[in-house]
Amino acid sequence: DAGVTQSPTHLIKTRGQQVTLRCSPKSGHDTVSWYQQALGQGPQFIFQYYEEEERQRGNFPDRFSGHQFPNYSSELNVNALLLGDSALYLCASSSMGLAAYNEQFFGPGTRLTVL
């Protein structure tokens, strides 16, 4: 089992550009959540996808959007990048059927730097 995988590992963009980050969930998981971790802070919830739909969204602007594919993999898109978008972006997978008590498995993250 490869666990949760994310690509790319690192990314450097300039202000105003657009970026797409990718995530493949752990085998058997159907739910993908995205988190942003700024330097020196705890991760913050961006949104969650289940059955190819956004189920919940955190306090992030519409510049942040996502998608889930039929194979449960997911993309995070960020438009009009700002310097403040520089962060580690973490993907977590879980199984919706196990309700609140299931563990969310995290990928290694994508380090985005906006210049």
Partner 1 sequence: AQSVTQLDSHVSVSEGTPVLLRCNYSSSYSPSLFWYVQHPNKGLQLLLKYTSAATLVKGINGFEAEFKKSETSFHLTKPSAHMSDAAEYFCVVSGMDSSYKLIFGSGTRLLVRP
* Contacts to partner 1 by CB under 8 A: 4, 33, 35, 40-45, 48, 55-56, 58, 90, 92, 94, 99-109
CB of 15 to partner 1, least distance (A): 26
Instruction: CB nearer to partner 1: give 7 or 17.
Output: 7
Instruction: CB nearer to partner 1: give 16 or 84.
Output: 84
CB of 68 to partner 1, least distance (A): 13
CB of 93 to partner 1, least distance (A): 11
Are the CB atoms for 4 and 103 separated by under 8 Å?
Answer: no
In the DSSP assignment, the letter for residue 80 is S
Instruction: CB nearer to partner 1: give 25 or 107.
Output: 107
Task: Report how far residue 65's alpha carbon sits from residue 47's, in angstroms, rounded to the nearest whole number.
Answer: 9
CA dihedral 53, 91, 81, 67 (to 10 degrees): -20
Instruction: CB nearer to partner 1: give 48 or 74.
Output: 48
Task: Report how far residue 63's alpha carbon sits from residue 92's, in angstroms, rounded to the nearest whole number.
Answer: 20
Give me the count of residues in the chain.
Answer: 115
